[in-house]
């Protein structure tokens, strides 16, 4: 039985297990110099002792360590649309709240995403939102922080999308690629967290004749952005429809100059819709 802690439309998170850590593909992450570029895992061989120490950390329960599992295409969609719906999932990374301070109510955020083919698709931010909401609203944390090399563009983007504030710079703090680089520290307070506590609603989704129970987790910012753009398009469309009717009325009254002015306004609105549609397609 898979233990899903939170779930969105694209992914779910569950506790990282001993089996995950001992798997061959997981070990390969820590030998990949791209994956480990901004952490210490790739400096030396990933030893059995390190694996055992990490497993003991998982089993101690002193940290929150979640596996991020994405939902890939169904087997039925790949081979035969009429065949049974069998989910295909893939473990692409881990997200963590570590160094949890029970007195000061703080924790450090860390993550690693070893499946490089999924980089840049928003999975890091989407899963981290679930973790942050859990930290603030379940663990009663007051501050979550993280530090990263100034050259780590991916981690900086995640921190900024989560609403974290740049709090300070540690000069020449880490040695990377033959030179010392600064480390930026980011922090976020519970009072600054924009997302409300997760609400769950069992929702039935039908795909290829199959029915799945999917508990809705925290909505991603992508969905919120899409809805905002759709609402804006609807608003502009309403203006456009009125414009067309006004133009027709003027035309029937034989006022071509006024009709021309209205047409220019309609054209301008259409350009706005085109830009919004382009933005929507990229989210």
Identify whether the C-beta of residue 273 lies closer than 8 Å to the C-beta of residue 236. yes
* Amino acid 74: pLDDT: 60
Query: Residues near 182 by Cβ (< 8 Å), separated by ≥ 6?
Result: 149, 150, 169, 170, 171, 172, 173
User: Which residue ranges make up each domain of the chain?
Assistant: 6-215, 221-282
User: What pLDDT, on a 0 to 100 scale, did the predictor assign at position 82?
Assistant: 55
Q: What is the pLDDT of residues 67-123, one digit of tens each?
A: 999 998 665 555 555 555 566 899 999 999 999 999 999 999 999 999 999 999 999
- pLDDT score of 151 more than 90: yes
Query: Model confidence over 170-180: pLDDT tens digits?
Result: 999 999 989 99
Q: How far is residue 278's CA from residue 283's CA, in Å, rounded to a whole number?
A: 9
pTM here is: 0.65
Measured distance CA(197)–CA(217) in Å, rounded? 10
Predicted pLDDT of residue 179 = 94
pLDDT digits (tens, 9 = 90+) for 107-147: 999 999 999 999 999 999 999 999 999 999 999 999 999 99
The residue to which tokens 């899963």 are assigned: 127
CATH of domain 6-215: 3.40.630.30
The label of the residue with tokens 């919120």 reads 224
| Contact predicate 46/30, CB 8 Å | yes
Band of residue 198 on the pLDDT scale cut at 50, 70, 90? very low
Statement: residue 212 has pLDDT above 50: no
């Amino acid at each position: 039985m898979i233990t899903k802690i939170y779930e969105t439309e694209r992914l779910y998170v569950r506790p990282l297990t001993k089996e995950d850590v001992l798997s061959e593909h997981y070990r390969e992450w820590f030998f990949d110099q791209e994956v480990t570029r901004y952490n210490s895992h790739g400096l030396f061989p990933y030893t059995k002792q390190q694996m055992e120490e990490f497993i003991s950390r998982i089993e101690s329960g002193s940290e929150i360590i979640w596996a991020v599992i994405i939902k890939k295409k169904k087997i039925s969609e790949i081979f035969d649309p009429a065949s049974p719906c069998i989910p295909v999932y893939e473990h692409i990374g881990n997200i963590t709240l570590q160094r949890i301070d029970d007195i000061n109510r703080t924790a450090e955020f860390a993550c690693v995403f070893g499946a490089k083919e999924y980089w840049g698709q928003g999975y890091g931010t989407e899963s981290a939102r679930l973790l942050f909401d859990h930290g603030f609203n379940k663990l009663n944390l007051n501050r979550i922080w993280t530090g990263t090399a100034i050259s780590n563009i991916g981690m900086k983007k995640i921190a900024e999308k989560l609403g974290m504030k740049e709090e300070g710079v540690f000069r020449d703090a880490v040695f990377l690629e033959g030179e010392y680089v600064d480390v930026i520290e980011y922090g976020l307070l519970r009072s600054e967290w924009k997302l409300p506590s997760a609400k769950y609603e069992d929702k039935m989704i039908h795909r290829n004749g199959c029915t799945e129970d999917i508990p809705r987790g925290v909505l991603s910012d992508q969905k919120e952005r899409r809805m905002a753009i759709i609402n804006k398009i609807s608003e502009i469309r309403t203006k456009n429809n009125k414009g067309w009717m006004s133009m027709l009325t003027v035309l029937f009254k034989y006022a071509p100059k006024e009709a021309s002015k209205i047409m220019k306004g309609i054209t301008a609105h259409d350009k706005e819709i085109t830009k919004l549609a382009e933005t929507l397609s990229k989210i």
